[in-house]
Structure 1
Amino acid sequence: MSESGARLRDVYITGVGAHLPGPAVGNDRMEDHIGRVHGRDSVVGRRALRWNGIQTRHYAMAPEGAVLDTNAGMTAKAVAAAIDAAGLQIGALQHLATATTQGDYLVPGHAAAVQAELGAGPMEIASYQSVCASALMAAKGACLQVRAGEADVAVAAGGEFSSRWFRPGFYEGTALVDAKGRLTTEADFLRFTLSDGAGAVVMEPQPRAEGLSLKVDWVDLTSLAGRFDPCMWAGSTRADRADMASAWSHAGPAAAHAAGAVALLQDFELLKIVIRAWIGVWLEKVDSGRIVPDQVDHLLCHYSARSLREEIVGLLRNTAAMIPEEKWFTTLPETGNIGSASIWVMLEAFMKSGRPKPGDRVLLIVPESGRAMIGFMMLEVV
């Protein structure tokens, strides 16, 4: 333990890293890459691409299905890049907090797999599993380790390998495909929305000696799971998703797969309601003074689709919580929606963009549709 006594320390992000596998895949080649269910063009694919506004994305799986990397492998590469950006060596790492929607294993946790891929020595690890907001769960855990003096170098990382779940064989022969060979909308939309990659940030109790760092002012997470059924889930059918006794493990893997209870699914009608719940939490932050919009110089808001951004902006436009769109920064069109990795991939691009200046305040917002969660992180450029 570092010498800190009872005094809490400041925390700084001193390095940001990202890893995007393979070449960028454009919309014209996307369905060739992930495959066609029963050889048919998707009924909703073009509509999904118009809805999400993504132009290119990356996959860790080749068109014929060969695995080019793993979730843990991609996350380890992002961690190594972040540590290098901080001017450190892997051996300096004392706490590794990782986030993912679905790791390579059912057991053990993602952090253990990432540590092994790094070839790192003994350290403390923590695995956070949810959807997009798990990135800020890991960030808060890593931040508190440094703030309390438990670690001098901590990393928060997020990684996703969504494409392995999107191969046609994962759906064919299940209840998710109708008699005409068409995949249900709640599954098909996600095939055109999610992609692969990883991102990471290094946290230390002092800023870098050279270059820019980001002081962590605070990290807040709010879950509204007590108010909503799952909105994005894997492990149950749509009808039974709120009944824990009906989860896939009770039926067994073969029966659950046949019922379409293992695939990743999204309830788009519920999503419209959840968006308003996210905005409600945002407004509460503003009303309490936790967020002062006029003092925010840059907003990095993770959203899964351009249309969701438009809806968020529409709801906020006439409120005191609105942050002008010219202050927003995103990489969604170029890198796609990478779940828990998205916010760090976005932050890495932002730090390289030339936009951040000393004294600027940067607000990160990560809403998650899994079961209605939203996270906020306030940073200051130093």
Structure 2
Amino acid sequence: MQEVFITGSGSFLPGAPVGNREMESRIGLLGEHSRKLKALTLRQNGIRTRHYAIDADGNYRFTNAQMAARAVEAACDSARRDPAQLQYLACSTTQADLLVPGIASSVHGELGGTPLGGTPLEISSHQSVCGSSMMAIKSAWLNIRAGEHRVAAASGSEFSSRWFQPDFYRALDFSSMDMDEALQYEFLRWTLSDGAGALVLEDEPDPDRPCLKIDWIEQKSFADRFPTCMYAGAFGSGPEDSRPWSHYGSPGAAYERGAIILRQDFDLLEQMFPVWMGYFLEVLDKHNLSPRDIRYFLPHYSARSLGERMKTLLTRSAAMIPEERWRNHQREVGNVGSASVFLLIDRLLREEKLQRGDRILCFVPESGRCLASFMGLTVV
């Protein structure tokens, strides 16, 4: 099997950073609890700035696909490749711009329409939540590993802020909700942000600068154990409320029922942590890894408080990676969903003094219906 290397990385974060005081001008307020829940959420997630693809006047400045294409172009530039040299493109997102076709078709179209030009290539689209990022990377990795292609790109992109406009929530009466009920809607509004990241993968490293060899990628779904936790497209996750939006007879009927809104069940989320940590230990054992072997740990988590929960469980399991080896920049960019691990890797390559042989562990848990992904990298 062919070895595979990350030779380039790129990020695209739309517009200037948006501070906590400016957020309301972009996504508005839903009800009397909004400001209290905003303050509570920001204390929990620790985010100070984020990026939105909607400006203060309500203008949509980019599409999801346009952000992904710009990140792919940046990754190609980093890898010293023209996008026209790509042979395979794997794209991930939580929700594409269109219902049909997939996100990769739209991103490929954006790449082909640039002054840099484009070329026909093989594509794959991956739609989940945060974990779709690793699905895309693994797809590109396996294609090169099998000898199908020599140069590939993988991307993750999100346009979450469009979900959070007040008109999306008109079917709900927030005045009748208590704080706990409202939090399932408000937490995501004050946590998720927009942007894209991408990687270029090749069958040979660049001899003139550090590259990352992909040693392995592991992913498991535990959806057989859990109902949906973070979701949109149904009114609820129980048997009576989980009817898909497309079964309401019309999109308007689904909207009036509140089946389009993005929400999260925090009781379920708490139950997923032991499952994720159990899988974490399984992966360490499978690859004969000790926490002291890992030079850089790139964990994705949706809030600072959840990162602290992760540290507590790892410490109890004697699997805690020294905290000074953790790298996470959610405070500056927010939770960018499927783009997050791409942004973390891009920042690592740009800012750290990587040494040959350094081992890197990436961890992406997903609360959608409970899955987790890991990737092992070595600096070459």
Q: Which residue of 2 aligns with 1:282?
A: 280
Q: Is the 8 A contact 2:34 2:186 kept in 1?
A: no
CA displacement 1:71-124 (0-9 Å, x = unmatched): 000000000000110001011100000000000001000000000011122100
Identical counterparts, % of pairs: 47
* Aligned partner (choices 64, 68, 81) of residue 75 of structure 1: 68
* Aligned partner (choices 245, 253, 256) of residue 255 of structure 1: 253
Q: Which residue of 2 aligns with 1:3?
A: none
Describe how 1:1-382 pairs up with structure 2 within 5 A. Answer: 8-37=1-30, 41-119=34-112, 120-172=118-170, 174-175=171-172, 177-179=174-176, 184-240=182-238, 246-251=243-248, 252-382=250-380
- CA RMSD of superposed structures (Å): 1.8
CA displacement 1:42-63 (0-9 Å, x = unmatched): 3311000001001100000012
Q: Is the 8 A contact 1:176 1:260 kept in 2?
A: no
Question: Could you tell me the TM-score, scaled by structure 1's length?
Answer: 0.94
Q: Distance in 2 between matches of 1:232 and 1:180?
A: 19
Q: Distance in 2 between matches of 1:91 and 1:202?
A: 13
Amino acid at match of 1:46: A
Instruction: Indicate how the Cα distance of structure 1 residues 135 and 239 shifts in structure 2: closer, same or farther if over 3 A, else same.
Output: closer
Q: Distance in 1 between matches of 2:260 and 2:239?
A: 11
Q: Secondary structure at the match of 1:363?
A: strand
TM superposition shift of 1:141? 0.3
Q: Distance in 2 between matches of 1:240 and 1:256?
A: 16
TM superposition shift of 1:316? 1.0
Q: Distance in 1 between matches of 2:310 and 2:102?
A: 34
Q: Is the 8 A contact 1:56 1:335 kept in 2?
A: yes
Q: Secondary structure at the match of 1:225?
A: coil
Q: Is the 8 A contact 1:65 1:167 kept in 2?
A: no
Aligned length: 373
Q: Is the 8 A contact 1:229 1:241 kept in 2?
A: no
Q: Which runs of 5+ in 2 are unaligned?
A: 113-117
Amino acid at match of 1:67: Y
Q: Is the 8 A contact 2:217 2:373 kept in 1?
A: yes
TM superposition shift of 1:287? 3.2
| Range with greater deviation from structure 2 (141-150 or 29-38) | 29-38
TM superposition shift of 1:239? 4.8
CA displacement 1:246-278 (0-9 Å, x = unmatched): 111101311211221111110011100011111
Q: Which runs of 5+ in 1 are unaligned?
A: 1-7
Amino acid at match of 1:22: G
TM superposition shift of 1:130? 0.2
Amino acid at match of 1:55: R
Q: Secondary structure at the match of 1:370?
A: coil
Q: Secondary structure at the match of 2:148?
A: coil
Q: Secondary structure at the match of 2:35?
A: coil
Question: Could you tell me the TM-score, scaled by structure 2's length?
Answer: 0.94
